[in-house]
Amino acid sequence: MFKVDADYSDVYAMHREALKSLDRAPEQMKKILDRKAAEERRTHRYQNRTTMLEKSTFASEVKEMGDAKSVEFGARMHYASYVDNRGLTRVHQLAQAAAREIEFFLDGESERVSRM
């Protein structure tokens, strides 16, 4: 009779590290989009008469939907879409840039965990 032993400690370490990465991801998403909201407030092209639209530019808290996470990003004023449709904001470009940054972060985390 033979006895076969297996050491799972590396797998458990990788699993723990992957869970830490997953825990960091929502916070990182929020930080990225908060930076993009601040950038929009600094760089918009509309004439800022009341400051209401500028002040309403936001990144929401992270919402979980199963395995996915989402953050709303934009301005809350009822006329925000009008200003955006006229090309006076960079909300769409900043949202796309944020999505790329988040993807880069997640790819980096996956790579880091897989190298363990």
Q: What does the domain layout of the chain look like in residue ranges?
A: 9-114
For the segment 64-75, what is each residue's pLDDT rounded down to a tens digit? 888 888 999 999
Task: Give the DSSP letter string of 71-115.
Answer: --EEE-STTHHHHHHTT---HHHHHHHHHHHHHHHHHHHHHHHHT
Which pLDDT tens digit goes with each residue over 17-66?
A: 888 888 888 999 999 999 999 999 999 888 888 889 999 999 999 998 88
Tokens found for residue 79: 């006329």
Its pTM stands at 0.81
Measured between alpha carbons, how far is residue 16 from residues 10, 23, 48, 68, 116 in Å? 10, 11, 48, 20, 11
Residue 116 pLDDT > 80 = no
Instruction: Fill in the DSSP letter of residue 66.
Output: T
Position 35 scores a pLDDT of: 96
> What is the C-alpha separation between 60 and 89, in angstroms, rounded?
18
**Which pLDDT score is estimated for 94?**
95
For the stretch 84-100, pLDDT in tens is: 999 999 999 999 999 99
Indicate the residue type of 63: K
Q: Give me the pLDDT at residue 92, please.
A: 92
